[in-house]
Amino acid sequence: MSKNLQILPLGGMGEIGKNLTIYEYGNNMIVVDCGVMFPENDMYGIDLVLPDFSYILKNKNKLRGIVLTHGHMDHIGALPYLLRDVNAPVYGTPLTLGLVRRKLEEANLLANSDLRPLGEVEHLGPFRVKPFPVAHSIPDSVGLVIETPVGSVVHTGDYKLDETPAGGRTTDLNKLKKLTPEGVLVMLGDSTNADQPGRTETEAVVAETLDRLFKQAKGERIIIATFSSVLARLQEIIYLAEKHNRKVALTGRSLVENIELARELGYLKVPKGILVDIHASTPAEDLVILSTGSQGELRSALNRMANGEHRQVSIQPGDTVIISGGTIPGNEEVVGRMLNNLFERGAHVIYGAMATVHVSGHGSREDMRMMLEAVKPRFMIPAHGEARHLHLHAKLAQETGMKAENTFILRDGSRWLTDGKKAWTEGGLELDEVYVDGRLVGEIGELVMRDRQRLSQDGFVVALIPIDKKNKLSGEPQFVSRGFVYLKDSGKLLDEGREQIRRHHTKGAAQLRRALEDFFYRETQSRPVVLPQYIQS
């Protein structure tokens, strides 16, 4: 039996999303977080991207528990997919478990799930897991000290060093130091803002800005779009609405559900009578509408307003629309389109470039430096970031005095091992991207994704080939196309395409397809998806 600690990330290394890290010692392993990644712009038709669970499923007899740091989807969203095939206790803080419970209910998995409150110490095989509070953009977030037989690990989770967080919970570095009296073997640290200088601004700055904007919007309706999980900001907006004698209406399913859950668990205080139905005829100057859609999501409430498609809310000239959420990389185009549509409808739109209406929930370089100096780990693994963030975080660790050979840049599937004295990497796992498309989970592979990308760029062509029982042509081949060329104006191209069919149709559908694809590429420099279809007469 191995006496080494193995750390094996299945997500979150070299990307923002699908965070999942395995800690393994001997015949025991625990999983920290189990998140999804939202699709990139070229992942056509994909709803979510999951970690590859193959290693966990192969070793599920070793699994002692799943520990969650907080309730964002990139840390909990894949749980329903893993718990279909794995039976293990899930530990989290009350709000995190409340959000998980709702996801499991939707997937009809709650009855068979084992959800447990995360205590001061959890004994999971040879691991002793101890949480410490961190400030983040969702309440009840924690980092973890994981004591192992070879030394202590600090898994920071997502954090910032905010002395005046709207939710009232700071990152407790003093408690972290008390939990690690014998030092820290290795730290896995949040790298998201490694390219941002200085400190991340406090959430209190956003509250001050919003207060000023409320005063300026006197006599106007206010519409605020933010992340439905940023409960501390939602609380501030509700307080400001009460201060400025306004009612609050909600639109967007996730927003309504999260506020309802946070009220039930005591994380959100809503003064009596301040919430009104979105259908209510509240005067515009007395109303704040809280909405989803800060990322320009296609069917989100704010995007439907911008397009004039929202059933209850129509943007009116003079409305103040505040986008209180930073644009996630990759969403710039759709957010820009939504902003333009809002301006076209006469709204007074305020977003990040104009006022501090959003601050990150992740620490910037000086926050990260302070964390490194507080923890003083022997080894350092940057986590939760794209490649540039990981490398910049590693260089920052070296600036604080850590040797370059003690910082490790991992990728999803990398195996990092330590015996408590030295550390090294070994051959990693080959991981697949697991795509969710509606009810299809994992059935959409790389070949399908490449076809979808080609369809989006070059369209498709169906070749209808009439043949007799002897496999000879029994009529003129025809083409049906979408997104490639206008067939009525492409007579010469189609005639030459029919000649390709005459030459190759007896060689089988695969060779004919390749011949037609090569032909269309030579003639047009486009490579449509070609689908030969034999029709027997």
Q: Per residue, what are the HEC states of 239-251?
A: HHHHHCCCEEEEE
| Predicted TM-score (pTM) of this structure | 0.82
Same CATH fold assignment for domains 5-198+360-440 and 445-536: no
Q: Report which of 107, 151, 109 is spatially closest to residue 127, judged by C-alpha positions.
A: 151
pLDDT at 94: 94
pLDDT at 48: 74
Domain 203-350 class in CATH: alpha beta
What's the rounded Cα separation, in Å, for the pair 315 and 303? 11
Residues annotated as catalytic are 190, 362
- For the chain, which residues make up each domain, given as ranges? 5-198+360-440, 203-350, 445-536
Beta 122-124 vs 127-133: how paired, if at all? Answer: antiparallel
For 110, residues 6+ apart whose C-beta sits below 8 A from its C-beta are 101, 104
Domain 445-536 class in CATH: alpha beta
Give CATH superfamily name and number for 5-198+360-440.
Answer: Ribonuclease Z/Hydroxyacylglutathione hydrolase-like (3.60.15.10)
Per-residue b/e over 43-79, b at no fewer than 16 CB within 10 Å? beebebbbbbbebbeeeeebbbbbbbbbbbbbbbbbb
What's the rounded Cα separation, in Å, for the pair 53 and 24? 15
pLDDT at 200: 92
pLDDT at 520: 75
pLDDT at 337: 92
- State the number of CA atoms in the 13 A half-sphere of 342 facing the CB: 29
Give the CA dihedral 122, 124, 127, 133, nearest 10 degrees. Answer: -30
> Please, what are the averages of pLDDT over each run of 10 residues along the chain (537 residues)?
90 93 97 84 64 94 97 93 94 95 91 95 97 92 97 97 76 94 96 95 89 92 90 90 95 90 90 91 92 85 92 92 82 87 94 85 95 97 96 96 96 96 93 70 61 64 77 76 67 77 75 81 78 77
pLDDT at 341: 94
pLDDT at 92: 97
